[in-house]
Structure 1
Amino acid sequence: MIHQHPLAYLLGLEGVALLRAFAGRHDEAFVADRLAEIRSLLDRAGELGPGGSAMELTSAEAYGSWAAGYDRPGNQLLDIEGPLVRAQLDGVPVGVALDAACGTGRHAAHLAELGHTVIGVDSSPEMLALARAKVPAGRFLLGELASLPVPDATVDVVVCALALAHVPDLRPVFAEFARVLRPGGSLVVSDPRGRLGDTGLPIVVAGPDGSPGYLANRSRLASEYLAAALPLGFEVRHCEEPMRPSPFVDGDGLPPGAAGPPPPPSPPGTPPNIWSLHPLIPDAANAAYEGSPMAIVWRFQLAS
């Protein structure tokens, strides 16, 4: 169970912005504006509502709820992560490709276009249905990352995109990647970075019964991936951390290029939709998020 209060999020952004000013990134006038804005937020605390609580969901429950809108245009993370992952896959020899936690089949479709024989595994039946429609020639299986329904040493490349942030321990998952890969095979991994440094904000969605739920969204150190991968014989071939576009939000409080107006505030008694809060303090939001990585993208190769 988590509890999210809108004022807590807003004051948190103001605090990070002030720390960045304290480190020399902003001037005295910026600090005065932030302090005045904090006083105003405290005076208006009752208008923001009490927030609400959410129960933890499994990945299958969360992504089942999210599936229908997952590929909707304007998802800044997908827009940035997708080309970087595809660039790594483009250099891999054609063979049997496993899209682990395939979701709607974003990367499975690219692998099929490159000529790979595609296998997709996901814990969400709803996501798998979308992937099958997108890649009719692929074979899509229900399964978990820590116990992939794939035989040993039968795959030439594994891609796992934006999914490891949800698992509590990387080691058994990387062990599965090593098990299913042939010697010399490639592993391409992407993961989101915490919106604020090492703080991975939970993904809040409606649960199966319609009540608010959340999916854990961990932000890991690069060393954690290495600690899981290197003992298994994986060797690093590429690593990059794309930065968040600046400004983080535009004048409407949305990521630049996002489709549609800002979402309405969440109903009373539910966790806040943070994108509905950004228009209240756009300068602080931009200052808090500036210069932070949005994702991490790895390419490993399993030793021959």
Structure 2
Amino acid sequence: MIGVDASPEMLAQARKRLPDVAFHEADLHRLPLPDNAVDTVVCALALTHVPDLAAVLAEFARVLRPGGSLVISDAHLLVSYLRPTLARRRGTDGRPSLLAEHHRPLSAYLAAALPLGFQVRQCEEPRRPRHSLDPDTAPDPLPAYVSWDLLHWCPEASAAALDDSPIAVVWHFQLDGIRKAEQPDQIN
């Protein structure tokens, strides 16, 4: 198992939990692996912060062996409509800042993956569980910031908008057994 992250802080946390795993500080656009090096790539909740999806998927295809699997989880496009983008802490100064987020329709993943020789094996859209409408017992549907405070005043509207909505998309792609570069030229 090999772990890759661009954040030294996240790598430090990962090393604490998994001391026997090799971790590398690197960008998703330049993985520190040779071509055809791994059987499976798992990318969890990171692609929403990448502006060029196709370039990262091309890097995943480069390091995967033919027939290898790519499993991606990412925030669902609907999440961008249902919750505000929240400030997160970054850097040593502790100042809040927004991470860039790129909310994509499901078709964007297909448009980036299929030309690289990936085939869809499965796509799931996990949903938020239904909550009670009783404001005293219902869990907070979202952090209460700015106008989102209104969600507590009208739990029926909150439940209608948020309950049972997709919160993520999980893709399982498989790389063709024959890479495009290895395929014979076709005459059209």
Asked if TM exceeds 0.5, the reply is yes
Q: Answer yes or no: is the 8 Å Cα contact 2:131–2:139 preserved in 1.
A: no
| Residue in structure 2 matching 1:254, options 139, 149, 162 | 139
Which residue does the alignment assign to 1:191? 74
How far apart are residue 245 of structure 1 and its match?
A: 1.3
Q: Does 1:303 align with 2:176?
A: yes
Where has structure 1 moved over 6 Å in runs of 4 or more?
Answer: none
Please give the alpha-carbon distance, in whole angstroms, between the structure 2 residues aligned to 1:123 and 1:297: 22
Which residue does the alignment assign to 2:33? 150
How far apart are residue 199 of structure 1 and its match?
A: 6.4
Q: Partner of 2:169: helix, strand, or coil? A: strand
Q: Answer yes or no: is the 8 Å Cα contact 1:196–1:289 preserved in 2.
A: no
What pairs up with 1:91-130 in 2 under 5 angstroms? 118-130=1-13
Quote the RMSD (CA, aligned, Å): 2.6
Q: Partner of 2:58: helix, strand, or coil? A: helix
How far apart are residue 175 of structure 1 and its match?
A: 0.3
Which residue does the alignment assign to 1:288? 161
Q: Partner of 1:215: helix, strand, or coil? A: coil
Partner deviation per Cα, 1:250-269 (whole Å, 9 max, x = no partner): 6256348xxxxx97x7xxxx
Which residue does the alignment assign to 2:117? 233
Q: Partner of 1:203: helix, strand, or coil? A: coil
Q: Answer yes or no: is the 8 Å Cα contact 1:202–1:214 preserved in 2.
A: yes
How far apart are residue 249 of structure 1 and its match?
A: 7.6
Aligned residues: 175
Which residue does the alignment assign to 1:215? 99
Which residue does the alignment assign to 1:132? 15
Which residue does the alignment assign to 1:162? 45
In 2 relative to 1, CA 297–210 (structure 1 residues): closer, same or farther, beyond 3 Å? same
Output the TM-score relative to the length of structure 1.
0.52
In 2 relative to 1, CA 134–276 (structure 1 residues): closer, same or farther, beyond 3 Å? farther
Identify, as 1 or 2, the structure richer in helix: 1
Which residue does the alignment assign to 1:205? 88
In 2 relative to 1, CA 149–273 (structure 1 residues): closer, same or farther, beyond 3 Å? farther
How far apart are residue 196 of structure 1 and its match?
A: 4.8
Q: Partner of 2:54: helix, strand, or coil? A: helix
Please give the alpha-carbon distance, in whole angstroms, between the structure 1 residues aligned to 2:146 and 2:21: 36
Q: Answer yes or no: is the 8 Å Cα contact 2:4–2:24 preserved in 1.
A: yes
Please give the alpha-carbon distance, in whole angstroms, between the structure 2 residues aligned to 1:127 and 1:142: 10
Give the unaligned 5+ runs of structure 2.
178-188
How far apart are residue 277 of structure 1 and its match?
A: 5.2
Q: Partner of 2:171: helix, strand, or coil? A: strand
Partner deviation per Cα, 1:118-167 (whole Å, 9 max, x = no partner): 10000111110111111111100001111112211111100001111111
Please give the alpha-carbon distance, in whole angstroms, between the structure 2 residues aligned to 1:138 and 1:278: 43
Please give the alpha-carbon distance, in whole angstroms, between the structure 1 residues aligned to 2:77 and 2:30: 26
Which residue does the alignment assign to 2:181? none
What amino acid is the match of 2:60? F
Please give the alpha-carbon distance, in whole angstroms, between the structure 2 residues aligned to 1:152 and 1:194: 32
Give the unaligned 5+ runs of structure 1.
1-117, 257-261, 266-271
